[in-house]
Amino acid sequence: MRHERPQAVFWDVDGTLILTEGLHYEVIRDWCAGRGYELTPEANEELLGKTMPEKWAILAPRLAPGLTEEEFRDDCARAYLAGLKADMMRPGPVAAVRRLHELGVAQAAVSNGEAPVIEANLRALGVWEMMSFIVCGNDVPQGKPAPDPYLEAARRAGLDPARCMAVEDSPVGVASAAGAGMFVLAWPAEDAELSGASLVLREGEEFPLGMFGEERLMD
């Protein structure tokens, strides 16, 4: 598929802009422990990249009867917000968001997370006001790896998906953005197999501002 110069950049949040995977695990682990279920790191692998409704569907059969998805989601959101810290940021991607904002490039956040959690992450990083909108897991029929979140982002931006860039850090996210027909920039914090990406950066490498007519991110 031919891609033109991107007219908008859509950012994944967890893992791409901020390293919160450990916090997500701790929050859900502790919630489950308080209700008699031990969520091991191995069992948590099944939850990675899922929306909260999808996580609940996996966990509910392992928990005592009478618990509700609403309780699970509300309790976990409160615990997550209490544990969130700005120093969990990834400096390179966050600097790229700020530079693109200075250049007037439209940006949005596209995540499987809950809207209040996405907003809290972006506010902690100081980039909330730089996003035109957010797409969360509850906004679409299917979350990542389905293409729905990125197709919805392109629709809201009024752009053909082929004129949009998505920045991701995981196979689930790359599959979603690639399925939507976008230029996919994979920028993992650690080496990972991310087949399907249009371009892969490694930690410490700079965002390719040349695609937007700029030479470098920083002087």
What are the tens digits of pLDDT across the range 26-56? 999 999 999 999 999 999 999 988 889 999 9
Among 83, 115, 136, identify where a domain stops.
Answer: 83
Same domain, 98 and 206: yes
The verdict on residue 72 lying in a domain is yes
Do residue 160 and residue 124 come from a single domain?
A: yes
181: pLDDT strictly greater than 80 = yes
Please indicate, yes or no, whether residues 26 and 90 belong to a single structural domain of this protein: no
Question: pLDDT per residue over 101-157, tens digit each?
Answer: 999 999 999 999 989 999 999 999 999 999 999 999 889 999 999 999 999 999 999
Please tell me whether residues 161 and 139 are part of one structural domain.
yes
Same domain, 119 and 190: yes
CATH of the domain at 165: 3.40.50.1000
Q: Is the pLDDT of residue 188 over 60?
A: yes
Q: Is residue 110 located within the same domain as residue 199? A: yes
pLDDT of residue 190: 87
pLDDT at residue 186, as a whole number = 96
Answer with the one of 64, 83, 102 that is the final residue of a domain: 83
The total number of structural domains in the chain stands at: 2
Residue 1's pLDDT band, with cuts at 50, 70 and 90, is: very low
Last residue of a domain, one of 63, 83, 103: 83
In degrees and rounded to multiples of 5, residue 165 shows phi and psi of -110, 140
Tell me the residue range of the domain where 179 lies.
8-19+86-212
Check whether residue 197 and residue 128 sit in a common domain.
Answer: yes
Which backbone phi and psi does 122 adopt, to 5 degrees?
-65, -35
Is residue 218, in this structure, part of any structural domain at all? no
Q: Please return the burial class of 81, using the count of CB atoms within 10 Å of its CB with bins 0-12, 13-18 and 19+.
A: middle
For residue range 67-90, list pLDDT tens digits in order.
999 999 999 999 999 999 989 999
Cα separation, 37 vs 62, in Å, equals: 7
* 217 domain-assigned: no
> Within this chain, do residues 51 and 130 fall inside the same structural domain, yes or no?
no
Please report the pLDDT score of residue 5 as a whole number.
85
Residues 6+ apart with CB under 8 A from 115: 134, 136, 138
- Say if residue 9's pLDDT is above 90: yes
Sheet containing strand 134-135, edge to edge, reads 134-135, 106-110, 8-11, 164-168, 183-186, 199-200
Per-residue pLDDT band at 3 (split at 50, 70, 90): low
Residue 2: pLDDT above 60? Answer: no
134 token code pair: 């957010």
pLDDT of amino acid 36: 95
